[in-house]
Structures are given as structure tokens and as C-alpha cells.
């Protein structure tokens, strides 16, 4: 006799491992491959002087190296090799400088002095991907000229915000009514940090993504008893 679960096999989307893999592949590979394709499409229009060709090849090589590094890290993760991430603030600053150089969008990073260092690598990865996707959305959908990223601690909670000066989301429940894995993945990552993600936005007034989670997720296993959301955020 078939067990009940065999009669109704779980949908692929129900499997947490598959969901995590889908999220990682979207955030770490698909997004950058899409950007590379668009870059190359634009490049094909010319002009083809030596200097611009070398710059383009350099940029493709750089992106491929970055993606290889990410795929390696994903493989380490799949093998369960947990670790610590030193100097997360510096990693974000490097991302900001490179993003500004590549796109012209100003990205400002502010990290409070009491932000811990090193932090747990899985938490660092979730935060990095949330910041990256938010900044990418700010440019792609909001047409933002600048984005402010802030990381701070307050009352045993970590608060991360990504504020852009773009055109804001249409009135459709914080982007959830639209197709796209980005917002869904960010919410899942906030949940995996033990916290929540919210979007403060509206047509014409920019978008602020806020993530709040127990600070213990940065330095230890999250405390089971801690409330997920502090008052008054």
C-alpha cells in the first residue's frame, strides 16, 4: 500500500533544499549571466576599437571569475563546510565601489561600529544577496541614482536597510504581485536569519527594504526563544 505522501508526492517547490538551490542559482548565477548577455548585446552594436574591445573582454573575464568563485562557494556550502566571514563591511564597500564604477549608481555603505566581525558565513551570504538584489532592483526597476545601505545593531537585533531614491514600486503589495524570484528570495533569506523583511515604498517616493533579525544570527546559532520582530520598527 502506498503511504499517503507517496500518493501526493511533494511539489519540487516544497523541498527546502531545492528552494535554497533555486534561490542561490537565481541570485548568484542567473542574474549576472543575464547582465553579461545584455552587456554583450550592447557591445555588438560597436564601435569596435581596440580599447573598448579589451575593456569588454576584461569585464567578461572578471564576471566569469566572480561567478566561478560563487559556484565554488555554493559547492562548499552543499558539502556542509560552514565557516566565518571576516570583514563583511569591507566586502560590501568593495561591492559598492565596483557597482558604482560599472553602472554609475552611487552606493553608500554605513556600518555601525558595534557591528560584529567576523560573522557567520551563511548569515553573511544571506545579507550580501539581500543587499545585492535590492541594489540591483533599485537600478533596474526604480531607475535610482543612489542607494544607501545601512547595517546596525540595536537592542539585540540587527537592522539592515537599503534605501533608494528611485521611482518606487507601483501600488501592488511591495512587488509581490509581479513575477520575479528576487523579492521572494530576499524574504526567505530574512526568514532564514530568524527575522523579517519589509518594503516601504510607493510611486514617486523611492523604496526602502528593511531586514530585522536577532543579532545572535551573526555570531552564534539563533536563539530559539527570541521574538522575531522588535517593537516599533
Ligand X SMILES: Nc1ncnc2c1ncn2[C@@H]1O[C@H](COP(=O)(O)OP(=O)(O)OP(=O)(O)O)[C@@H](O)[C@H]1O
**What CA–CA distance (Å, rounded) separates 187 from 171?**
19
Number of residues forming the site for Mg ion (CB under 5 A) = 2
Contact characters 88-127, ligand X, x per CB under 6 A? ----------------------------------------
Least Å from the CB of residue 129 to Mg ion? 11
Q: 160 contacts which partner out of Mg ion, ligand X, none, CB within 5 to 8 A by kind?
A: none
Query: Could you give the 3-state DSSP secondary structure of residue 221?
Result: coil
Contact characters 148-187, Mg ion, x per CB under 5 A? ----------------------------------x-----
Binding of residue 192 to ligand X (CB under 6 A): no
Only one residue has cell 501592488, namely 172
Binding of residue 69 to ligand X (CB under 6 A): no
**What CA–CA distance (Å, rounded) separates 144 from 142?**
5
Q: Which of 165, 185, 161 is nearest to 175 (CA)?
A: 185
**What CA–CA distance (Å, rounded) separates 226 from 15?**
26
What is the phi/psi pair of residue 130, to 5°?
-65, -45
198 within 8 A of 139, measured Cβ to Cβ: no
Q: 207 contacts which partner out of Mg ion, ligand X, none, CB within 5 to 8 A by kind?
A: ligand X
Least Å from the CB of residue 79 to Mg ion? 29
208 within 8 A of 201, measured Cβ to Cβ: yes
Q: Summarize as ranges the residues that interact with ligand X (CB under 6 A).
A: 137-138, 141-142, 164, 166, 168-169, 175, 178, 180-183, 207
Chain contacts with Mg ion (rule: CB under 5 A): 137, 182
Amino acid at each position: 500500500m502506498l503511504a499517503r505522501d507517496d500518493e501526493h508526492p511533494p511539489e519540487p517547490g516544497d523541498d527546502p533544499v531545492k528552494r535554497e538551490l533555486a534561490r542561490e542559482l537565481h541570485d548568484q548565477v542567473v542574474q549576472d549571466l543575464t547582465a553579461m548577455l545584455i552587456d554583450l548585446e550592447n557591445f555588438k552594436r560597436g564601435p569596435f576599437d581596440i580599447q573598448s574591445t579589451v575593456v569588454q573582454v576584461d569585464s567578461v573575464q572578471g564576471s566569469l571569475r566572480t561567478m566561478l568563485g560563487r559556484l565554488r562557494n555554493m559547492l562548499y556550502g552543499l558539502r556542509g563546510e560552514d565557516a566565518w566571514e571576516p570583514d563583511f563591511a569591507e566586502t560590501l564597500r568593495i561591492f559598492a565601489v565596483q557597482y558604482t564604477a560599472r553602472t554609475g549608481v552611487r552606493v553608500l555603505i554605513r556600518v555601525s561600529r558595534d557591528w560584529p566581525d567576523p560573522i557567520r558565513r551563511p548569515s553573511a551570504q544571506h545579507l550580501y544577496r539581500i543587499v545585492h538584489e535590492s541594489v540591483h532592483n533599485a537600478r533596474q526597476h526604480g531607475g535610482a541614482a543612489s542607494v544607501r545601505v545601512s547595517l546596525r545593531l540595536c537592542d539585540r537585533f540587527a537592522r539592515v536597510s537599503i534605501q533608494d531614491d528611485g521611482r518606487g514600486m507601483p501600488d501592488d503589495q511591495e512587488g509581490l504581485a509581479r513575477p520575479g524570484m528576487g523579492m521572494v528570495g530576499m524574504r526567505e533569506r530574512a526568514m532564514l536569519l530568524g527575522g523579517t523583511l519589509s518594503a516601504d515604498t510607493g510611486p514617486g517616493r523611492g523604496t526602502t527594504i528593511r531586514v530585522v533579525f536577532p543579532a545572535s544570527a551573526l555570531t552564534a546559532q539563533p536563539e530559539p526563544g527570541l521574538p522575531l520582530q522588535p517593537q516599533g520598527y
